[in-house]
Amino acid sequence: MSATTPAARRYHGPIQGLIFDWAGTLVDFGSFAPTQVLIDAFAGFGIRISMAEARLPMGLAKWDHIQALGKQPEVARRWQERFGKPMQDLDVDALYAAFLPLQVERVAQYSDLIPGALAVMVQMRARGMRIGSCSGYPRVVMDRLLPHALQQGLRVDHAVATDDLKAGGRPGPWMALANVIELGIGDVRACVKIDDTVPGISEGLAAGMWTVGLSLSGNETGLTLAELAQLTPSDIETHRAAASARLTAAGAHFVIDSIADLPAAIDAIEARIAAGDQP
């Protein structure tokens, strides 16, 4: 949004809607459900994938994620050595077919709520905000995840899966915009996209929203809550700084540690709106 936008055309009100990612944002501290299952799916084809490699394309739809993994130079080399040819779309289809039932089976196992999620939801609803969400998960996985989250007390007003829309998923704006339509929000500039991945930040920016990145709870740091608790303050700061740098470079307006810190970020965004800023 240009700084020269006439004042009459700028958005001046409060934040109306929050669009959350799921793994690494609301549930699954460290975002392990997607990554570990991808590692296991590739292992079934005799291909070793490291956790760091699995995390690189995180945030994409899972078919796209698998394809992007196969294009990483070292992964492509391993595939070529084992099968004598580069990975093709039919191979991606086969990997996805192996991945999907594993993901459905295991998603709840990894998807405990991230500390602070319930309290933040209560606060944001009390301020009149509607709660949307979207994910790189396909609908069949979301249909397993949503009841598990509800059992823990977490309810969203709308959830979009990556295969719900013909247009596709991240980094395009479509899932975020589908939430805007369903929630009945009149201006995308009244929305905030909260995500732990670079494609998720790109999604929010493409939709014209404010964006908040999560540095410690999600994919960019990639540690469980217990693992993070074992680190020294200096080591935690190293992880925070590296993750924040990547998310900021992607265009995040604010970067916080986890959803527990979101209320302060929303206050800061509303202060910027009151000062005339736009996303």
Phi (first) and psi of residue 261, to 5 degrees: -95, 5
Reading the block at residue 4, the tokens are 């020269």
Burial of 4 per CB tally in 10 Å (0-12, 13-18, 19+): exposed
Residue among 21, 64, 257, 261 flagged as catalytic: 21
Residue among 62, 64, 193, 261 flagged as catalytic: 62
- Determine whether 163 is an active site residue: no
SS3 content of the chain, % helix, strand, coil (to 5): 50, 10, 40
Reading the block at residue 2, the tokens are 């240009």
- Determine whether 93 is an active site residue: no
The Cα 217–Cα 240 span in angstroms is 10
Q: Which ranges of the chain does DSSP label H, i.e. alpha helix?
A: 33-43, 51-55, 62-71, 73-83, 89-110, 117-126, 139-151, 174-183, 198-206, 225-229, 233-249, 262-274
Residues with a known catalytic role: 21, 62
